[in-house]
Amino acid sequence: GYFEVTADVANYTKAKFLSKVGKRAEVFVRFSTVGGEKGSPDAARDPRGFAVKFYTEDGNYDMVGNNTPVFFIRDPLKFPDFIHTQKRHPATNLPDPDMFWDFLSLTPESIHQVTILFSDRGTPRSYRHMNGYSSHTFKWHNDKGQYFWVQYHFKTEQGIQNFTREEAEIMAGKDPNHATRDLYEAIERAEYPSWRLEMQIMTPEQAANYRFDPYDITKVWPHGDVPPIEVGRLVLNRNPENYFADVEQAAFSPGNLVPGIAASPDKMLQARLFSYHDTHRYRLGPNYQLLPVNAPKAARTSNYQRDGHMRFDGNAGGSPNYYPNTFGGAAPDPDAGEPPFQVSGTAARQPYTHPNDDFVQAGDLYRKVMTDQDRDHLVSNIVAHLGNAQKRIQLRQAAIFYKADDDYGRRVAEGLGLEANQVRRLSAVSQQELVEATKE
């Protein structure tokens, strides 16, 4: 498909593909579920991947996001363990509610994402009817050396549509591939799905004094604080010609950046800058960036990467494979650098807790954003899943819901058949005390 700029953002970024209104860049977009294996139902309760590769004149830029604006964790060292809990038990080879909820209840910063996931937004009706988000904060910088912190919101122009839990369970059995089918057939009918890109933009001064950590992926920037502005439009108008060549071999990375766009102090993002390329080398080989879907389309490749398994082009012939050289080889572009930013504080490997607790935004979502029906479905969905875990884990997780909102925790506790007063008492203690009180 393509991305078209609809607003002037040259004051914020020098990225060439965003340089003027009406400019278009070719894109490749991949949607996915996260927890299930290939062939698992599209209707599963799961975050959806929303990854966009922009083929720009400065090279490829990847926005590797999800359909939720936040994530479960903010510490990258927790990520492998988190993924294990979303997969299968090592002995039974079955999804395990004890693993799932034990980890989440021991990781209270997950409450915001859990609240979104177990709402009906956790089961979108199709890929066309969901939003996409960067989740992370990124840095935009202009040709004057000024920089800004930004977040991306791709808002579906088809409207948000979700399944209820019961509808999703029926669809999972009736047509496990329904979302893939829906997207492919809509494009074949020339009903091209589209998304409106809105950006939240924050100055360094605003970020320094903001009431939430602006780099915490478990938090959002409330729109009342940072109103989004429309920047462009994403349209998908062509299906892959060969699924394996174009989709299975696609490799996205948050580290694929272009001048004008850079990373932020978000530790989860910084870990992803490395881990995605490392994974692609394992999955596709060292020359995965030469595959047509991953190769630049609007820029000339200029680097010193040579050799390696499955190097299927001319391997740059006899051109120099070292830098510096006096034989006309590629050289760094001083204009491609990013402006520095101030850092302070003490570096140490320790758990990070922001003065704002982890429950404020989840509570606001429950009280202020959700309708009565949304809350009813949320509680019902949680009870149906959490009810399969051990009682001690149910107590711990219900107490965390209670910390976000009294009504939230009480309704979950009652749905699970727990004593509401016991859950309320547990919600009043520290996380460490809560863990001690609910150990096996």
CB 210 within 8 A of CB 222: no
Query: Quick one: pLDDT at residue 79?
Result: 95
What mean pLDDT comes out for the span 377-406?
98
Query: Quick one: pLDDT at residue 23?
Result: 98
Residue 356 CB: number of other CB atoms within 10 A? 14
Specify if 383 maps to a domain: yes
Do both 59 and 83 map to the same domain?
no
Query: Quick one: pLDDT at residue 335?
Result: 87
Specify if 314 maps to a domain: no
Do both 137 and 98 map to the same domain?
no
Do both 299 and 181 map to the same domain?
yes
Specify if 313 maps to a domain: no
Kindly tell me if the per-residue pLDDT of 209 is higher than 90.
yes
Specify if 198 maps to a domain: yes
Kindly tell me if the per-residue pLDDT of 344 is higher than 90.
no
User: How far is 268 from 110, CA to CA, in rounded Å?
Assistant: 14
Do both 133 and 46 map to the same domain?
yes
Do both 128 and 185 map to the same domain?
yes
Do both 159 and 44 map to the same domain?
yes
The 3-class secondary structure across the chain, one letter per residue, is CEEEECCCCCCCCCCHHHCCCCCEEEEEEEEEECCCCCCCCCCCCCCEEEEEEEEECCEEEEEEEECCCCCCCCCHHHHHHHHHHHCECCCCCCECHHHHHHHHHCCHHHHHHHHHHCCHHHCECCHHHCCEECCCCEEEECCCCCEEEEEEEEEECCCCCECCHHHHHHHHHHCCCHHHHHHHHHHHCCCCCEEEEEEEEECHHHHHCCCCCCCCCCCCCCCCCCCCEEEEEEECCCCCCCHHHHHHCCCCCCCCCCCCEECCCCHHHHHHHHHHHHHHHHHHCCCHHHCCCCCCCCCCCCCCCCCCCCCCCCCCCCCCCCCCCCCCCCCCCHHHCCCCCCCCCCCCCCCCCCCCCCCHHHHHHHHHHCCHHHHHHHHHHHHHHHCCCCHHHHHHHHHHHHHHCHHHHHHHHHHHCCCHHHHHHHHCCCHHHHHHHCCC
Q: Domain of 423?
A: 73-106+359-440
Indicate which CATH number applies to the domain containing 176: 2.40.180.10
Kindly tell me if the per-residue pLDDT of 165 is higher than 70.
yes
User: How far is 210 from 223, CA to CA, in rounded Å?
Assistant: 13
Kind of pairing, strands 194-202 and 261-262? unpaired
Sole residue written with tokens 């272009």:
258
Query: Quick one: pLDDT at residue 235?
Result: 99
What mean pLDDT comes out for the span 297-317?
94
Do both 162 and 92 map to the same domain?
no
What mean pLDDT comes out for the span 415-426?
97
Specify if 216 maps to a domain: yes
Indicate which CATH number applies to the domain containing 432: 1.20.1370.60
What mean pLDDT comes out for the span 191-195?
99
Query: Quick one: pLDDT at residue 345?
Result: 85
Do both 193 and 137 map to the same domain?
yes
Specify if 170 maps to a domain: yes
Query: Quick one: pLDDT at residue 76?
Result: 94
pLDDT band at 354 (very low <50, low <70, confident <90, very high): low
Query: Quick one: pLDDT at residue 355?
Result: 58
What mean pLDDT comes out for the span 151-176?
99
Ligand-binding site membership of 276 (annotated):
yes
What percentage of the chain exceeds 90 in pLDDT? 94
Do both 390 and 434 map to the same domain?
yes
The 3-class secondary structure across 275-316, one letter per residue, is HHHHHHHHHHCCCHHHCCCCCCCCCCCCCCCCCCCCCCCCCC
What mean pLDDT comes out for the span 231-244?
98
Burial of 369 (0-12, 13-18, 19+ CB in 10 A): exposed
Query: Quick one: pLDDT at residue 187?
Result: 99
Boundary (domain end) residue, out of 258, 284, 303: 303
User: How far is 17 from 55, CA to CA, in rounded Å?
Assistant: 9
Do both 274 and 160 map to the same domain?
yes
Do both 269 and 388 map to the same domain?
no
Query: Quick one: pLDDT at residue 342?
Result: 80
Report the C-alpha dihedral over residues 5, 10, 14, 16, rounded to 10 degrees: 30
Query: Quick one: pLDDT at residue 347?
Result: 83
Partnered with residue 149 across adjacent β-strands are 139, 202
What mean pLDDT comes out for the span 70-98?
96
CB 8 within 8 A of CB 22: no
Boundary (domain end) residue, out of 303, 320, 340: 303
Where is pLDDT greater, at 440 or 103?
103
Q: What is the mean pLDDT of the chain?
A: 96
Specify if 333 maps to a domain: no
- Phi, psi (deg, nearest 5) at residue 154: -95, 110
What mean pLDDT comes out for the span 137-149?
97
Query: Quick one: pLDDT at residue 207?
Result: 96
What is the count of structural domains for the chain? Answer: 2
Boundary (domain end) residue, out of 285, 303, 321: 303
Do both 272 and 414 map to the same domain?
no
Specify if 323 maps to a domain: no
